[in-house]
Structure formats: C-alpha cells, structure tokens
Structure 1
C-alpha cells in the first residue's frame, strides 16, 4: 500500500589446475513428462558433471560404499549462519572444519559476477580425492574451473566461477564437496550466496514525483509487503539504510518520503539487455517500534526474492 498506515510515516597458495572452464548450465531434472526423455536428460546431466568436475556423487557413493561418509552436522549449522553473512558481503568463510576451510570472494558488475572459491588445507597431511560439484539454476550461465584431486598440507587452491544472469531466478546454487583425510571421508554440502540482489546496481531517481510515478506503475501482483517489530540491531533507521546500501546494493533516495522512512531503488540486470527496476520503502512507526517493508519490482520473482532476503536480514538479529 502507498499510504502511511498505523503511524508509519513518518596459508601458502597452491596454483589452481590450469584447464579451460567448462559450461555447467542446466536444469538437473528436466521439465518433460516423457520418462525416456527424462532418463536421457539425467544421463546427459551426469555426463556434464563428470566433464565439469571429473566425477559425480553417484560415483563417490559406489567407490566408497565400504567407508563411512562423514557430514558434520555442527559444521553445517555453522555454515548456515555464515551463509547469512555472505548474503550481504563480498567475501567470507562459507564452511570450515578441522581439515578444510572454504572461503569465498565475489565481485559483481551488472549481469556478470565472479566467485573465487578458496579451499585451504589446515592440516599437515594432504587432502586427497578432492572433488567439487557446483550446480547453478538454469537462469544462470556458469563457467567453472576445475580443482586438483589433492591439496597439499598447509596450502590453498582456487576455483573460479564466472556467472552471467540470463533472467530472474529464485533457486540457490549448490556446492557439493568431497575429500579424504587420514583415511576418513568427508562431505560438505552448502548453498552458495548467489542471489538476485547480487546482480543489482543502485538506481538513482530524482524527486518524489519521478519515484512515485514508477511506484504507482507497478501493479499489486508485483508488490510484497510486511509489518514486523524492530530488532535491537535495526532499531535505528540509519542502520537499516546502511545494510540496504552496502549489503543489498540499493541507492538510498532522499527527499522522497517522510524523513523517518527509507526509500531505495536498484536495477537487476540480466543478459543480453534485460533490466528489472526494484523500488523499496521502509516505513518506521516509532510508538510501536515497528517497520513496514514494501518492495515492488517489474518482475514478481525479483520483487519476492529481494523482499525475502531483506526481511530475513532485518528480522533475524
């Protein structure tokens, strides 16, 4: 809604294997109803996994059926917390145990992005049978470099993931990682922080008239809204403005609305020349210590995704 309701208003680096990156694009399950076609598509996808990473996890399970495959629950719970941080930052640790640290560095410009995955062996023994599989949504085009099958003690290897957004998307990217350490077998399975707002660039709109002209032009089916209580971290609108600007890549617009509210805008870019404008209002109700968040976008998927991640950030502290 447009009006103000309820008072809202106011270690040493080991070089990566130098091999050309392979394309890793596709919908793993296909979309047809023909069983034979689905089976053929699954076979094609598994071949692509092998071509891209040198393996798939069916091979791993068969090859190591006599060995316990460990997947530490606490490590993955910690990784879920780290994931929330990476959604609003350009680099950080994604997952870590006593053997391996996986760090991510990212850079985005318009519809293109690059992730550098840093796999660091923390131990004095080699990590062997090292394998990584990355599966991206079908709306993203990815070129993924290969990793070596072994990481030497106290060294680090890099993997590059070059991305192009081909359209709005909602699915997260999967990273499945497997290695052997001291004759024990370990698996990491996490989501990478590749989300729509990473492909957003700030959009500056001059004047209230221009902003609300765009605001009213976007229909209700492309609007998402929720009222929620302030959290201690985001009880100050300045803190909200900071995370919206630095973490969600939106331009904070001034002179548009009540000074106690936040108005922001950005554009989601996709190849070859696609652009989806995203508009946001965060209205503050001081007596009730609550916010009303409204996100509108020219695409319903983008509106929902940007809204979801911002709401999650503002309410999880």
Structure 2
C-alpha cells in the first residue's frame, strides 16, 4: 500500500473496484484489541490503507467512512492511537468533501487539547476552522490558553490570532479576541499581532470608538502586560477624544490611566507613551493648563534621556505642543494603512520551519565536546611567546547525550502525587541523600592540572567562569603595556553581569563605563569613554569581537578623545541562540609615549537574556513531567561548590534573573526555580531548575535543569554551575592598590578660586 502511493492514481475501473474492496475489508475489519503487538501491526496496516484511500481519491462515501473510523480512534484512551487518529484526520482535510464530516467530531478534537502533546489537535482545529465554527474554536483556544504549556502558548496565540483575522464575523469580535490574547499570554504574543489590530482600527472609522472604549477598560486594570500597555496607549492616544462625552473619559482621566503604567514599562514602550501624551494634548484645545503642565513636565524630564528615541520624541513633542492650535495639523490622526498581506500567516510558517532533520543536526552538534576553557600552557609553532593567561585553565567537555549511564542514571522525578515531590532513584536510599549520586564531574585537563578559581595577581583578564571560548580567553594587556588598571577587572566584569551600569575598566588616563538596557533577546549598551587628563587621548580604536551567537553593531569611535571629555558609543546586541560565549572589546589608545591595548569581556552574557518567571505548582509540575530525560532534562552532581546558606544561594539565582518558587519542594534544603530565555531563533523558552543541597556538606549539590531546547538546557546548567563553583565575590577578590596620588596642595581657606580649581 505504501508503494502504490508512489504511483499515479489508478484509472482502470476493474482494478480500482478490486483495490477498494480490499481497502474496505481493512477499514471494516480493524479494531482495538487487548493484544498490544496485534494492535500495533493492524493499526500500521490500517493507517497505510487510509493514506492510500486519500491518494486514490475515493468516493465521498468511503471518505466519510474513513472519517467515522478515525473519529472512533480519537475517542480512545490510548494516547498513541489517538495521536495517529488526529494526524490522519488532519491529512484528510485536503479532501474538500469530508470537511463537514470532520466537523462532527469537533467536540472530541477540542478535548484532545488536554493531551500532553496537543500539537496534532491544534493543527487539526486550525485546518478545519471556517466561518461557521471559527467563533467556537477561537473561544476554546482562548480558554485553553490559561492552562497550556509554556512551550505551546506562542503557537496557540498565533493560530488563534490568524483564525480570528481570517474568519471574524465582525471586527469588534476580532478586537475582543486580540485583547484577550494579549491579556492571557502577553509575553508569548509577537508584536505582529498587536500591529495588525492597530491597522484594522486605523482603517475602520466605525471601529475606533469601540476599540478606544475597550482599550480604556483593559488599561484600567491593576496588572497589565506591557504589550497591552502599548496597544491600548496607541489606540487611546489616537481616538480617546471620541469618548470625551462618556463618564470617566475626559482627557485628564485618560492621561492619568496611561501615565500610571509609565513606571512599570521598558524603554521600548516609553516613546509610544510620549506620543500618546502629545496626541491627548493636541486633542485638548483650548488646552487644560493643569494637564498641559503635567505633560510638559514629563517631556522636560526625558529631554536628557540616554535613549536617543525617547530623547528625540520628548524634545520634539515639547516644541510642537507650544505651537498652539497649529499642532492640530501637525499631529493629525494617522492616515489609513495601505492594504497589505498579513504577516501573521508568514509567522506561522516560520514557526514550523524547524524540521526533524534540523533538530537532529542541532543535537549532534550539541554532543560534540565543547571547549569551554582553553588550555593555556601551549606555545605557538612560530616560536612567539604564548599569550599571558591568568590561572591554569583546563578543558570542560559537554556530557555525551547518548551516554546516560554516567551522568543520568538516577533521574530525579518531581511528582505532584499527595502534594509532595518524590525522589525515584534506581539505587536504594542511603544515609547521605547524595551519596549514591556522586559520580565524576565532566571536567578534564592535562595530567595533574587543577582548575584555579582564585584571582591572580597578574593584571588582566581574570579566569572567571563566564569566559567560555577561545575568542574570549585573551590577555587584557599586551606585553609592552606599562599602564596598570585601577581596580580588579574580573570583579568589575562580574558586577556588570548582575547590574546594568557601572565601570568596566579604569586606568590613570581613561575610564570606560557601561550603561545597558535589555529587553527579551535584544540589548543596547552605551560605552562611555572618559579622558581623565588635560591632554587628548589619540589613536583611539575600539573593535568588538562577538561570539557566533551574538549579532552586534557598534557606532564609530572617534580617533581622538579631547581633554576632560567623555564620548558615548552605542552598541546594539541581538541574541541569536543560547550560549555562554562572551563578546570581547579590543580597545587601544595612545597617551604621550604610552601605547595601551586592552581586551575586555563585555557583560552581554547569558543571564541578560533571561526574565524571571515565578510559577505555581499547577503550572510547574505538568511542565516538569513533560521533559522525560536527556537531552531536554539534564542532571549533574556538582562538587566544589562555594559553601553558602540556602537563602544566599536563592539570592544568587535571583540576581541572575532566575525566580525562586518557594513552597514547591517540601524539602527545606532544596530550591525550585524557573526563568524564561529569549533569543531570536528560539523565541521564549521556559527553563525549570531544581537544586538539592546536602546540609552536612555545603560543598556539593545535585542540580536538575529542564527546558524545551537541548542546547539551552546544557548551556544554562553549565552557567549556573559556574556561578555556584567559581565566581569570586567582591570581598574575596584582591583589588590592586591604585597608583599613589600626588600630594594635595595646601589651599588657603579664604581662596575661593583655588577651592573651585581643586573641586574641578
């Protein structure tokens, strides 16, 4: 039957009749029995027969019989049979005559959304939806969204949005659906979805008052997702004047509702809110003096904002709003958008582009040894001296995903039975809760070599664990450098991994500061290059050496930094996929006879693309159980952990944007945590973490980590392990003493000019 599907459709009526008799016998004679092997064999034949029936383009009566048979299979309790039934029913959607027959099983298909693997049911509902049942299907998807796995919420939202757009009985229902989607799954909603609803509202005058009223209703709620703030602020900025006669909808009240959300939004949303303020002020003619002063105060506040977009809007809106009635023409309503093809459908196609073959290739690449640290005691063949590395480094290899015996023989299972987490091990329990799990760590190196975690007295790039490939293990200073840095470079880098602004490097002539903003998989860093002296710094060069997983663009750096001046160099960052590799700034300058070259790690590290995600037991346990084992769920016993109390460890994880969920694990010595990872290729992925500590020995623990991406699971596990084992604290790190300062001149107390000069 499989072979016959590779041939053209049979036209000979006698042959077709004979073949259909055989197929009819198979369809009628196959049923579910108790013998598992017989079931597997007969169902293999049955589903191949169904495929051949579709290939031969059988009569409508036989097609309907196939649909009825599949309807029985999707109603059984055996998940494998139900999965195959849904898959084959999805294939039958290409036959136009059977779509009405498939609709009769809509209730059972919706019930299949509760299966652990809902993708087949979702694909089938998506394919069978039309104008007659769109409302019911979309409403079911909206209801299911609250309890869906995190890994499926983005696809669920996308497909619900597409169905609402294609089959909306009226546009007001479409607006309702999109706003509900954003409310229920804001973090998993792409910007394309709310862009589309704005386009519909802008292009339909009759829809604008309704959309403005709904926007006010949603924005008036106490907890609002940031995407909801964006879409509602835009709609209210453009059309809130249409609600002016309704109670509670005066310009001052609308402004107050929007402005309440300003402190909680990121810098990407602030420009949109400023536009809404300008529009509200424009529609308030003659101006309300109190409202005008409030908005002008906000514009003035952001006139000096570091973000160029915010600063420009604030400056321009403040100037425009002072032009009186003329602002009505300048800030008129947005014109109608040209009709264009929806980008949401393309988004759905992109989401399915990751084929099984690509996944296999990714997994194979993950199984290769990963040189997280590079051996430093090798000399180049050209006879040149080796670069100066700090500490003695060794090779850290990734575990072999196929060999589960060494590292994953005792998989930790979280069970929600009786409200407790039960430990299911293959070995009998011992007195020491971790004694049966202490296997060799995957750390190797030269014979007799040990990994050094102490700071070295050599000034330069310290051997911090965030340095994870050859491009990042570089000397901070060239051998000819005579200028010593002020402060410990490793400690400065580590501090910037935890916060978004501070000093990256400083010496007697220059100070390099960083201010960063992070949103999902994107980041914006600004390098502040400050000349500390009364002579210029010349031959200034800055080169970014990005790892493969980061896309980085830096603006031009001036060749000269004037005396006592500071220049700013914006740097845009896009995270493509999970990795611990670190970008390097290769910076050089000349001061007098000193030529200084430094190489510094940039704090665009893995945790910057995490967002803490507190979860409840109802959300955590189904997700945890869905990851059955390697490579999506990895476990390792970690030795050499820096002894710390459990609250200190919880604070450490929290500082790396990993949210602790207290109370999920009844064992008080354990931690359960979760976070969301963002990248351009993988979008949002939920990561779940469990750490089991031994109260008798704080230097060892067992860590289990799970996510929907094998690369992310391994990289985040190694990242957390590095923080627990080797990151030095500020108190532990020896800080080189700064150069001796020149003696302070004695200033007469009554000499104001001398006092001012000293302050400057």
Q: What TM-score do the two structures reach when normalised by structure 2?
A: 0.31
Which residue, out of 509, 515, 529, partners 1:99? 509
Aligned to 1:264: 673
Q: Are 1:253 and 2:661 counterparts?
A: yes
Aligned residue for 1:7, secondary structure, equals coil
CA drift at 1:201: 1.0
Written as runs of structure 1 = structure 2, the 5 A alignment for 1:152-163 is 152-163=562-573
The structure with the greater share of residues assigned to strand is: 1
1:182 is matched with 592
- Residues 141, 264 of structure 1: CA spacing in aligned structure 2 closer, same or farther, 3 A cutoff? same
Tell me the equivalent position of 1:112.
Answer: 522
Partner of 2:534: 124
Query: Which one has a bigger Cα radius of gyration?
Result: 2
Q: 2:697 aligns with which of 288, 293, 305?
A: 288
TM-score, with length taken from structure 1? 0.71
**Aligned equivalents of 1:224 and 1:102: distance in 2?**
40
More deviation, 295-304/113-122: 295-304
Q: Could you tell me which of 219, 239, 245 is aligned with 2:648?
A: 239
1 CA distance for matches of 2:705 and 2:485?
Answer: 34
Residues 197 and 128 (structure 1 numbering): CA distance in 2 closer, same or farther, change over 3 Å? same
Q: CA deviation at 1:199?
A: 0.6
Matched, 1:278 2:687: yes
Tell me the distance in 2 between the aligned counterparts of 1:253 and 1:135: 37
Q: Deviations over 1:7-38 (max 9, x none)?
A: 36xxxxxxxxxxxxxxxxxxxxxxxxxxxxxx
With over 3 angstroms needed to count, the CA separation of the structure-2 counterparts of 1:89 and 1:180, relative to structure 1, is same
Retained in 1: the 8 A contact 2:575–2:680?
yes
Distance 1:164 1:230, change over 3 A: closer
Matches within 5 A, 1:1-317: 1-2=411-412, 3=423, 6-7=432-433, 70-71=480-481, 75=485, 78-207=488-617, 210-218=619-627, 219-222=629-632, 223-232=634-643, 235-245=644-654, 247-257=655-665, 258-271=667-680, 274-289=683-698, 290-316=700-726, 317=728
* Partner in structure 2 of residue 18 of structure 1: none
Query: Any conservation in 2 of the 1:249–1:266 contact (CA below 8 Å)?
Result: yes
Q: Is the 8 A contact 1:128 1:150 kept in 2?
A: yes
CA distance, structure 1, for counterparts of residue 521 and residue 656 of structure 2: 15
Q: What's the offset of the Cα at 1:264?
A: 0.8
Asked if structure 2 preserves the Cα contact closer than 8 Å seen for 1:174 and 1:192, the reply is yes
Post-superposition CA distance 1:223-274 (Å, at most 9, x none): 2523235535xx21111111211x2111211221123311111111122771
CA RMSD of aligned residues (A): 2.6
8 Å contact kept, 2:513–2:527: yes
* Contact 1:170-1:301 at 8 Å conserved across structures: no
Distance in 1 between the 2:562 and 2:612 partners?
A: 42
Q: Is the 8 A contact 1:121 1:154 kept in 2?
A: yes
Deviations 1:47-85 (A, max 9, x none): xxxxxxxxxxxxxxxxxxxxx974469649932332223
Verify the 8 A CA contact 1:76 1:190 in the aligned structure 2: no
CA distance in 2 between counterparts of 1:299 and 1:86 reads 27
Question: Alpha carbons of 1:96 and 1:224: their partners in 2 closer, same or farther (altered >3 Å)?
Answer: farther
Which ranges of structure 1 fall in alignment gaps of 5 or more residues? 9-67
Distance 1:72 1:304 in 2: 41
What is the alpha-carbon distance in structure 2 between the residues aligned to residue 292 and residue 77 of structure 1? 35
Q: Structure 2: any 5+ residue segments left out of the alignment?
A: 1-410, 413-422, 435-477, 729-760
* Structure 1 pair 261–74 and aligned structure 2 pair: CA distance change class (3 A): farther
Distance in 2 separating the partners of 1:94 and 1:86? 8
Structure 1 residues 150, 191: CA separation in 2 closer, same or farther (over 3 Å shift)?
same
| Structure 1 residue 110: Cα displacement | 0.8
Deviates more, 1:291-300 or 1:173-182: 291-300
